[in-house]
Amino acid sequence: MENYLVSARKYRPSTFDSVVGQKALTLTLRNAIATNKLAHAYLFCGSRGVGKTSCARIFAKTINCQHPTPDGNPCNECDSCRAFNEGRSLNIVELDAASNNSVDDIRSLTEQVQVLPTNGKYRVFIIDEVHMLSSSAFNAFLKTLEEPPGYVIFILATTEKHKILPTILSRCQIYDFNRITVADMVDHLEYVARQEGYTTERQALNVIASKADGAMRDALSIFDQVAASSRGNITYRQTIDNLNVLDESYYTRLMEAFITANVPQALLIYKEIRDKGFDSHFFINGLASFLRDLMMAQTPVTLEMLDAEVDVKQKMVELAAKCPPQFFYAAMSLCNDADLNYRQASNKNFLVELLLIKLCQLQSPSQNFSDDGEGQLKPIVADKTAAAAPQPAPKAAPAPQPSPVQHPRPATPPPAPAPAPQPAARRKTTLMSGGPSLRDLKKTPQQAETHTAAAVTRRTGSYTVEQVLKAWQDYMTNHPTEQVLVNTMRASLPVKISGDTFRITVENHAQTNLMSARMPELLAFLRDSLSNDLITIEIAENHDAGSPHTWNDRELLHHIMQQNPAIRDLVDSFKLTL
């Protein structure tokens, strides 16, 4: 019986054509071989599982191949290629720097550099995880790396280029490997499945590729796991069950609940997720990522930032079109706050449920979307059909019976009797209680619901500018850990423009985005503190010289000297400096 070999090893690339997702890079290497323009040192950089070591081995085999193909691939038939494939080539030396990172290991390597190649033109030294070498080992390696013999080529591979000394980087040609896209992974997994005789669903392979996070090796390992569990019948349902992945249909259903402000439905979906054993913190992060992807799907330019297949992108475009951009800004901000507060929350389920309720209310009238007020909560109604049912119409008064005696028609009709005046106080009470009026009886259920919502009384309490500034300070006090927000608010105090409208002036676009994202929560706090729902805040960006709040010491001193000549004379007389 033949020993089982995992797919990551069995289907490891043996030619440049079989490398997944690195077409531009492999083309460059093949051209260098074809034109015989080989550097003495290469550095392959990239995240795990993207093909760095595989490309190094193919490159080493190809430059020693006696009969390379016209497209720059090894023939895999000559003595040199067969020796490499069978693991007995003396011309290719591999060193794992993670476990051989001392000065003695590098000295042993430099001694091997002096040995001439056998059955080939070059000796190739592949050093994997080179960033793990110690500083002394790097220094011992410098001279050999800079001026090796003409038959020696070094190929260094690393996942953390920033840890390598600049003196090493300057001696190498650097190649940056891309993360492998989901589409490329799915195509390769389909090829492996055909070779193994498995039946697959493309949606299931898409889940595996997404789980691998850009690493082909990880994708093949997950693929083997799912194939073993399903006995070669890889379906979407078995894949998400085996990998304990939260089905994206949950997030799609939640979005529908957010759009329709259906709080009970959102809470029930969260209960389903919890009952399946998913961690609530994992759910928050997954929801945040889903909202981010939807925001990217709103415009064709940012759609390219989604690493997904075409059909998945199209579904996200259709769903994202149902919400304005402001919804996603505020929703992601709420998810981020929930993520930061999760560890400190004593009741974590309550924190998530509160998050879902807030997300459901984001589509209510607010300062960002309309001029009807901020944060008006929609009622939690289990059965909207019953709630919107029209009131039964009152019985009409009986029509007057005609007189048996026919009278001649008068020349002019008598004036209609004036309607009895309604007391003003009673009309106001009707609006407050939400009872139907005669005009409401003629409205459709949808119009009646809109009229009832508009009839909600809005708070109009009086306040002073000083009270506004105090509430502004109270909000900063309640968020002591958010230094960027607090500093921005401290430097941008609200100024009254007219009526209940205030304006704040920020210094840059980043502060504009920050305050726009926090404005719904900030306005709700101010309105509750001052009992006035009419307060609005405009955000203006300062395009002139810096605000006095942002002046440094020199700018402040210069301003004082300009305003007060005596101060300038004092500074000049005593030659004062900062």
Residues 222 and 315 grouped into a single domain: no
Residues 149 and 264 grouped into a single domain: no
Higher pLDDT, 173 or 378: 173
pLDDT of residue 410: 43
The backbone torsions φ and ψ at residue 448, rounded to the nearest 5 degrees and listed phi first, read -65, -40
Whichever domain contains 511, its CATH number is: 3.30.300.180
Q: Average pLDDT in the 119-136 region?
A: 87
Residues 87 and 214 grouped into a single domain: no
| Among the ranges given (192-206, 438-452, 518-532), the one the predictor scored with the smallest mean pLDDT | 438-452
Residues 94 and 195 grouped into a single domain: no
pLDDT of residue 271: 92
pLDDT band at 405 (very low <50, low <70, confident <90, very high): very low
pLDDT of residue 287: 92
**What is the chain's mean pLDDT, rounded?**
80
562 found inside a domain? yes
Q: Please say if the pLDDT value at position 60 is more than 70.
A: yes
Q: Average pLDDT in the 511-525 region?
A: 90
Q: Average pLDDT in the 230-250 region?
A: 85
Per-position b or e across 278-299, b if 16+ CB within 10 A of its CB: bebbebbebbbebbbbbbbbbe
User: Residues of the chain with pLDDT > 90: what percent?
Assistant: 21
Residues 485 and 355 grouped into a single domain: no
Amino acid of residue 561: M
449 found inside a domain? no
pLDDT of residue 267: 93
Residues 55 and 165 grouped into a single domain: yes
260 found inside a domain? yes
Straight-line distance from the first to the last Cα atom of the chain, in angstroms, rounded to the nearest whole number:
84
- Structural domain total, the chain: 5
How do residues 415-434 score in pLDDT, each as one tens digit? 444 444 444 433 433 333 34
Residues 332 and 232 grouped into a single domain: no
Residues 557 and 576 grouped into a single domain: yes
pLDDT of residue 475: 92
pLDDT of residue 549: 55
Amino acid of residue 251: Y
Whichever domain contains 206, its CATH number is: 1.10.8.60
How do residues 282-325 score in pLDDT, each as one tens digit? 899 999 999 999 999 888 888 888 877 788 888 889 888 888 88
Confidence (pTM): 0.57
126 beta partners: 94, 155
pLDDT band at 353 (very low <50, low <70, confident <90, very high): very high
Higher pLDDT, 223 or 396: 223
Name the domain boundary from 360, 384, 402.
Answer: 360
Residue 153 class from Cβ within 10 Å (0-12 exposed, 13-18 middle, 19+ buried)?
A: buried
Residues 490 and 565 grouped into a single domain: no
How do residues 367-389 score in pLDDT, each as one tens digit? 444 433 344 445 555 544 444 44
Structural domain of 486: 465-544
Residues 228 and 326 grouped into a single domain: no
292 found inside a domain? yes
- Which run of H or E residues covers position 574? helix 565-574
User: Residues of the chain with pLDDT > 70: what percent?
Assistant: 81
pLDDT band at 139 (very low <50, low <70, confident <90, very high): confident
- Taking the C-alpha atoms of residue 239 and residue 237, their distance in angstroms, rounded to an integer, is 5
CB atoms within 10 A of CB 210: 19
141 found inside a domain? yes
pLDDT of residue 36: 84
Name, in order, each residue with C-beta under 8 angstroms of 234's C-beta and a sequence gap of 6 or more: 193, 198, 199, 200, 201, 204, 205, 223, 226, 227
Residues 86 and 224 grouped into a single domain: no
Whichever domain contains 144, its CATH number is: 3.40.50.300
388 found inside a domain? no
